[in-house]
Amino acid sequence: MRWCISHRADAHALPLADAHYNRQKPGTPQFVPPGRCLVLLTRMATALWVTSWPFAEFTQLAWAGAWVNSTFRNERCDLHLSSDLILEAVSATRAHFGDPPPLGMVTFVNPKKIRAKRDPGRCYLRAGFRRVGETQGGLLAFQMLPVEMPPASPAIGCALPLFGVAS
């Protein structure tokens, strides 16, 4: 496991969050949407992952209730394959939240905001996500169902809950 538990206002993670194309207000101390979340950071702060788990009743997406990878940034592809980091982050998310929701995890890629690639979202595809559509705003949607997810494995520094699901 390369991921360490972090938090929504970690100053070490802020430069990575600010560099992500979906960041709405760079420089503000909190970089995670409201609600339940898991923030992961590598030891050297070269990669950042955020899993958000919005309540279905407050979500207008077709995948309401799913875990959402709202931020992923890997600044050191020479150290870590992005697809490996994604699989470990999904595994850490399972360890943190418990059983995944029926719709699993989704993420969205804006093909206009990333480096030109043959396959936008390629690292997600290599990690086992499947392209499942497009949002009205033109974002590519990728999904990993619970049966496709790796087993749960806690992130470094993660305290396992004694009862129920960690919040």
Looking up residue 29, the CATH number of its domain turns out to be 3.40.630.30
| Three-class HEC string of 52-63 | EECCHHHCCCCC
Q: Does any domain span residue 157?
A: no
Q: Does any domain span residue 153?
A: no
| pLDDT classification of 130: cutoffs 50, 70, 90 | very high
Q: Does any domain span residue 154?
A: no
pTM: 0.86
Separation of alpha carbons 92 and 39, rounded Å: 10
Parent domain of 31: 3-148
**How many domains, in total, are found in the chain?**
1
pLDDT digits (tens, 9 = 90+) for 19-55: 766 656 767 777 787 889 999 999 989 999 999 997 7
Separation of alpha carbons 2 and 5, rounded Å: 10
